[in-house]
């Protein structure tokens, strides 16, 4: 069995090489824990001080969600 590289060159299957899983996550996409760190810290601090029900953190929550959406995550 042969796999295809991105340049469409066949590669022989060996124990060290396997066909890429098309359902696997994109390796170039960062993990959600590693993006929007400043927005997350501001949001978390506000929520700890004021709580979500106060409404004082809505703007920071929206900024965090927009930032995450920019990286392809939906919250």
| CATH classification of the domain holding 50 | 1.10.287
Res. 17 pLDDT band, cuts 50 70 90: very low
Q: Does residue 3 belong to any structural domain of this protein? A: no
18 within a domain of the structure (yes/no): no
The total number of structural domains that make up the chain: 1
Ligand-binding site membership of 19 (annotated): no
Give the pLDDT mean for 34-62. 96
Mean pLDDT on 23-35: 79
Ligand-binding annotation for 33, yes or no, is yes
Residue 66, in any domain of the structure: yes
Q: Which of 46, 70, 48 is closest to 58 using CA atoms? A: 46
Instruction: State residue 11 phi and psi, 5-degree precision.
Output: -125, 130
């Amino acid at each position: 069995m042969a796999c295809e590289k991105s340049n469409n060159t066949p590669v022989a299957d060996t124990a060290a090489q396997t066909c890429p899983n098309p359902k696997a996550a994109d390796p170039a996409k960062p993990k959600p824990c590693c993006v929007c760190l400043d927005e997350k810290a501001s949001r978390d601090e506000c929520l700890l001080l004021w709580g979500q029900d106060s409404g004082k953190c809505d703007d920071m929550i929206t900024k965090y969600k927009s930032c995450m959406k920019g990286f392809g995550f939906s919250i």
